[in-house]
Every structure is written in structure tokens, then in C-alpha cells.
A and B are shown apart, each in its own frame.
Chain A
Amino acid sequence: MTTQTQAIAEQTPSFPSPLKEFWQSFSANKGALVALCIFGVALICALFAGFIAPHDPVEQFRDHMLTPPSWQDGGMGTYFLGTDELGRDILSRLIFGARISLLIAFMSVMMSMIPGVVLGLLAAFFPEKLGTAIMRVMDVMLALPSLLLAICIVTILGPGLVNTMIAIAIGTLPSYTRLTRAAAMGEIGKEYVTASRVAGAGTLRLMFVTVLPNCMAPLIVNATLGFSSAILETAALGFLGLGVQPPTPEWGTMLSAARDYIERAPWVVTMPGLTVLISVLAINLMGDGLRDALDPKLKRAA
């Protein structure tokens, strides 16, 4: 027996760590990899805006109002993407805007994911009364278009950075709740949960330690995709004048201010628009890649 055991022991394969395994399947998707790079650039811009941006985002160069981008006639080297109607450098504003947009997106995702997960787990573990109550409230919230709901909330709370986050977070809360509940209900029926109960685990432990880690894959994907829709909604609220207030550089607000000059100075509206487009696209592609890597079943189906 011992010699046999040793012979088997030598054959024991070394398994890659879960992180490495994940990276292998994620990096196989080239589109997702490019998207990750773009997102990385946006993240670096946001973190080190002060060092990267060539100018102060709110400084008005009154002598150079509506300067075109440097590659066009009349463009200037120092204002690479041109200046807006008040003579502010567009590139600097976009770089600083990344900070606001990513901050709002990140915070609103967190503010909806954490309560959403908790509510979803509660609904799954106490399906009788509490679960029904939670899900009906979520149904009501889902019945309203999320942008409309966000506008309502901002109107009540007043425009501003924090209120924008809250408005977007409330709008996306139901999707996290439903997703967590569905995933958790699937897991609760499995034997390892019963095994955990037999071992003496309490309800809180079952919820957060036993079941939650097994529901993370769809949640991570939804959070990534929610990140991009939060950027879009921030821009939409900013465009309507309900989001972040001037002079804070924000992509949506920039679009909104520039629409009067759309014929005279098209770059003023094009640049923030393109920025929103590229960043949202990149995050969506990244989310797709994450889904494929985290949920192999969906990949085979696709």
C-alpha cells in the first residue's frame, strides 16, 4: 500500500492557481485584452490627472477661445484637442473628467451592489414573507425606466456629485437583487449548503461565507457592465444639467455646453462624445471577456 501510495503521489499534478486559470481564459479573448488596456489608460488618467493633463481644467485662456485641434488649420500645439467656448483646454478637461466619471461609476456600482447583494441574499434565504416583500418592491422599481427614476431622484435631492451617485445606484439596485436572489436560490438547494448546516453553520455564515462566493461570477459581470451604463447615465444627467455642476469637468456636462457650437466648432462636442463612446465600449468588451472567463458554460453556448 505504501509503495503504491508513493507511486500515485509522484503523479499528483500541480494545478494552476484560480487566478492564473482565470487569466489564461481571459487573455485568450483579444478584444477583451485591448479593452482592458483602454480601461487601464482611463484609470491612469483618472488617478494621475494632475500630472498628465497639460493645463488646469478650469483655467480660461481667453485669447484662444474655440481653438481647433492641433492637426487642423489654426490649431495650436499646446491645445492638442483644441479649446472650448471659454478657452479651456479640452484634453485637460477630458482627463480630469475621467476622474469624475470613473468615481461616480465606481461609487454607484458599489452603492447598488452591496445593498443589492444583501437584499438578494435575504430574499433567497427567507423566501416566504421577507423575500416576497423585497421582490415586489424591486418589481416596482424595475417598472420605471432607470433614467427617469434617476431624474426623479436628482430632482428631489438636488443636482450634484453625490446625489448623481445615489440616483444611479438606486436605479440599478433591482438588477443586483434579482441576480443575487436567483443565483443564491440555485445554490441553496445544493448539498454543500446542507453539509454546512450539518456542520453547524448559522444563517449569516451560510449567507455570506457559504453561498455568496458561489454567486460571484454573474455579479462581477453585471458590475462591470453596470460600470459602463453608470458612465452613460452620468453623462446623460450631466447633459440635462442635473448631474455634476460646472465648472467641474465632466463628459456629459461638456457635451451639453458644447452643443451650441456644434456647427462652428464641431471638435468641442466630438471629443467628449468620442471619449464616452470609447470608454463605454471598452468596459462592455471587458465585461464580455470576464463573463466568458468566469462562466465557461455560457462560453460554450455562445
Chain B
Amino acid sequence: MSLLSIKNLRVEFGSKAHPFAAVDGLDFQIDRGELVGIVGESGSGKSVTMMALMGLIDAPGRVTADELMFDGHDLLKLNDKQRRAIVGKDIAMIFQDALTSLNPSYTVGYQIMESLKVHLGLRGAALEKRALELLEMVEIPDAKNRLHTYPHQMSGGMNQRVMIAMAISCEPKLLIADEPTTALDVTIQAQIMDLLGRLQREHNMGLIMITHDLAVVAEMARRVCVMYAGQVVEEQAVPAIFNTPHHPYTQALLDAIPEHNKGASRLSALPGIVPGHYDRPVGCLLSPRCRFVQDRCRTERPPLAGTDGRVRCFFPLNEEGKPAHV
């Protein structure tokens, strides 16, 4: 049985008469100890999915799903209090900007100890020892003194390490990292990614890595989900997805990586932006931006199908990176 299983998740905003589905019909699974990457450009619904999973979508947002199972608990049926006992202890999250994700009014040590107190019931010396242990686990130098510093007194990389320490403090079964390295510079990015990978293996956590940096998932993830406009458009194992992307959107994302454009005078880019509330196409959501668009794409929405990975396209790309009919 998988650790987390989401079936047909839908998150809507706006009025009931004209709803806007930020996430539409999303299926997703992750096993214990697995590392799955979710990629997609801004506005494709990656973060909203995770917020919905943790019950953080407030009215007027609406969340519906056929199934939302985590570790044997049906998250849809839990009340607020039961959900809080699971979220935070068994599911933890790391955010994009560590400086704003830590409360500026409290010391780093206090914030780490807070959830240890609530979820694990630690007190006194044991509490302090565990907090220190966690800071050392995320390789913060001089951890003892750092316990008493405030977030603004530390660098972004240090703050992100503290965030990670807080997230793993209760040994969660599932860790969600929402663009954990976007706000950091490249050298620190590599360190943080290494750290996350190591902790994931050591603690046998499920790790969902949300990112728009394909290089990040190429190195670490076992499987990648590509999201576009609130839908999963392709799901494949690594490295197959990088060698033979089946969806034109995945191909476009890969083409946009600077290393794949050596010798070109301009980087190749996908024209246009993710469709919003008022410009949703009738057919395939990518149809206005797709290189290989056909008449059928403009009128019908393709289902997510396929055996070797899943792809949401009527004309999946072959090994040569072209649809079968071309």
C-alpha cells in the first residue's frame, strides 16, 4: 500500500457558478522511502496540491477528491483536530523562502523545540538535546550557540537548514519540499539538496520535491510528475523522462534548459503563459502553445493514459521527439 494516494483531486476557487479549478483531476501516489519530483512552471498548481493535501485551503477555496489517503488515514474524513495531529508530525513541509518561513519574533531553538513539545511531548534536558541533535544533523556549525539566535541573524542557507531541521524534527513519514532551493545561490543549493537526499535515505521518508529546476530532480528523484495548468500531463521514471519525453510540454521544459541550447544564439522557450481563469482552451490545455497541435487537440481533452509511464496527450512523442504521425 502506498504512503500517500490521491485520486481525482480538484481544488476550486471563485464563485460556485464560475469556478476556477487550480487543480483538476489530479492522481498521485508515493511510497514510503520514495523520492518523487513534481515539476511545472509557475501557476501549474504544484503548491496548491500540497496545500490541499494538508488541509490548508481556506474558504472560498473548495477541495474535493475521490480519495485522499495517507498512511491508512482518510484525510477527507478527519476533523480539524485529528488532522492537526497528523499534519506536522507525519507530514512536514519545507518552504521556498526560509527567511519568511521562520517566525522573526522567536529564536531558532524555540521554534524547533515548539513542535517537539507539542507532538512528541519532550521536556527539559531531553528537549534541548534533541534540538541540538537536529541542528547538528543538518550540519549547522556551532549548533549550541545557534539555538539562541534569531532568524534575521543568520544567512538564507542557514535558515533553510533550520527549516529542514524543524521539518524532520518529528521524523515525518512524508516530507514535502516546496522549491526548497529557489531562494538560495547555486553552491548552497547543491549542499541543501545533498542534505535532503541524505536525510531522506537515512530516515526512509517519502519525499515530494516540488521544483521548476529539472536538474534538481534529474539527480535525485526516482520518478517525475510534470504538471501543467492543474493537471498531471506526464509521469515517468527517471532517467527515461529525460531521454524520451512523451508529452510536448515535457519536451519544451527540457529544451528550455540552457545546457541543451549550446551553440544557439537564443534559448528555446515555450511561447505564451499558463492559461488562467478566462482563457482556458476547450480542448487540450496546452493546445494554444503546442508545437504539434492538431484539430482534435483543440476540441477534445486528452485523458491521462499509457503503460510505460502516463501521458496526457493524443499524439505522444516517440524516441525521436516527434509525434507518430509526423
- Residue numbers of A with Cβ under 8 A of B are 5-6, 8-9, 12, 14-15, 18, 128, 190-192, 194-202, 210, 213-214, 216
Contact = CB atoms under 8 A, between A and B. Distances in A.
Nearest to A189: B100
Contacts of A5: 139, 141
Given A194-B95, A213-B106, A200 B142 contact: no
With most chain B CB atoms within 10 A of its CB, the pick from A8, A12, A14, A213 is A12
Interface stretch (B82-90, B222-230, B304-312): B82-90
A9 B100 contact: no
A210 B105 CA distance: 8
B153 to A, nearest CB: 5
B142 A9 contact: yes
A214 B141 contact: no
B84 A200 contact: yes
Contacts of A210: 103
Given A198-B87, A199-B114, A214-B103, A191 B97 contact: yes
A214 B105 contact: yes
Nearest to B86: A200
Contact of A9 (B91, B95, B141): B141
B240 interface: no
Contacts of A200: 84-85, 87-89, 115, 118-119
Contact of A202 (B84, B92, B97, B166): B84
Contacts of B115: 199-200
Nearest to B143: A9
21 contacts: A6-B141, A9-B141, A12-B146, A191-B101, A192-B102, A194-B95, A195-B95, A195-B101, A197-B54, A198-B56, A198-B87, A198-B88, A198-B92, A199-B114, A199-B115, A200-B84, A200-B89, A200-B118, A200-B119, A202-B80, A202-B84
Most chain A CB within 10 A, of B54, B100, B119, B150, is at B100
A192 B103 contact: yes
A190 B104 CA distance: 11
Contact of A195 (B93, B118, B145): B93
Contacts of B80: 202
Interface of B: 54, 56, 59, 80, 84-85, 87-89, 91-93, 95-97, 100-106, 114-115, 118-119, 139, 141-142, 145-146, 149-150, 153, 163, 166
A194 B96 CA distance: 12
Nearest to A203: B80
Contacts of A15: 149-150, 153
Contacts of A214: 103-105
Nearest to B92: A198
A9 B135 CA distance: 13
A256 B173 CA distance: 73
B38 to A, nearest CB: 17
A151 to B, nearest CB: 40
Contacts of A216: 105
A205 B89 CA distance: 17
Contact of A190 (B92, B96, B100, B119): B100
Nearest to A17: B148
Given A12-B141, A14-B145, A191-B96, A198 B54 contact: yes
A260 B173 CA distance: 81
Contacts of B88: 198-200
Contacts of B104: 192, 214
Contact of B93 (A8, A14, A198, A201): A198
Given A192-B101, A195-B101, A200-B118, 15 more contacts: A8-B142, A9-B141, A9-B142, A14-B145, A195-B93, A195-B95, A198-B54, A198-B56, A198-B87, A199-B118, A200-B84, A200-B88, A214-B104, A214-B105, A216-B105
Nearest to A8: B141
Nearest to A4: B141
Nearest to B151: A192
A12 B142 contact: yes
A8 B161 CA distance: 16
A199 B87 CA distance: 7
A5 B146 CA distance: 14
A191 B100 contact: yes
A202 B97 CA distance: 23
A6, A199, A214: which has the most chain B beta carbons within 10 Å?
A199
Contacts of A201: 84
A226 B307 CA distance: 70
A208 to B, nearest CB: 12
Nearest to B98: A191
B103 A196 contact: yes
B165 to A, nearest CB: 13
Nearest to A213: B105
Contacts of A14: 145
A18 B104 CA distance: 12
Contact of B145 (A12, A128, A202): A12
B142 A197 contact: no
Given A196-B103, A200-B88, A210-B103, A191 B119 contact: no
B166 A199 contact: yes
A201 B145 CA distance: 27
Contacts of B87: 198, 200
A297 to B, nearest CB: 13
A55 B102 CA distance: 57
Q: Sort A-B residue pairs by CB-CB distance and give the 10 closest, nearest first.
A: A200-B88, A213-B105, A9-B142, A200-B84, A191-B101, A12-B142, A8-B141, A199-B88, A191-B100, A192-B103
A202 B80 CA distance: 9
A10 B92 CA distance: 33
Contacts of B118: 199-200
A192 B118 CA distance: 17
Contacts of A128: 59
